Amino acid sequence: MDLKAELQKLNEQIERFKRKRSAAVTREDPKVIAQFDREIAVATKKVASLKHQLSKEIGDKNKALKSYAFSRVITKAEQADMGKLKKSVKGLVVVHPMTAAGREMGLKEVTGYAAKKF
């Protein structure tokens, strides 16, 4: 299972625990409340760990992109025919500013990275 799917699964699990905990609060059942508090704490720790791991992976990917010899903004015409552009430039990696990698890099426009000038 990839990190994003596991993160989503844990967040859903935390939400289920919170709903069950609130039901236990209305029933005034201290044992169940304490149990769900512990389970929420454990799941929250796992979520924090996964988020850190995911950000580290994105950072490593960005380091690799920045090590490419050439990068430039992709024009609107090139974006319209991305398939043609990728076929003409071997090893081209396109980063959109709305992706996690693009946000972390602080991109404002769609940018292409490649080993050779294109």
User: CB 90: neighbour CB atoms within 10 A?
Assistant: 10
Token pair in block for residue 93: 């990696």
pLDDT of residue 118: 85
pLDDT of residue 1: 64
Token pair in block for residue 32: 């169940």
Tens of each residue's pLDDT in the chain, 118 residues = 688 999 999 999 999 999 999 999 999 999 999 999 999 999 999 999 999 999 999 999 999 988 998 999 999 999 999 999 999 999 899 999 999 899 999 999 999 999 989 8
Token pair in block for residue 92: 């081209």
Q: Which of 58, 68, 76 lies closest to 93 in space, CA to CA? A: 68
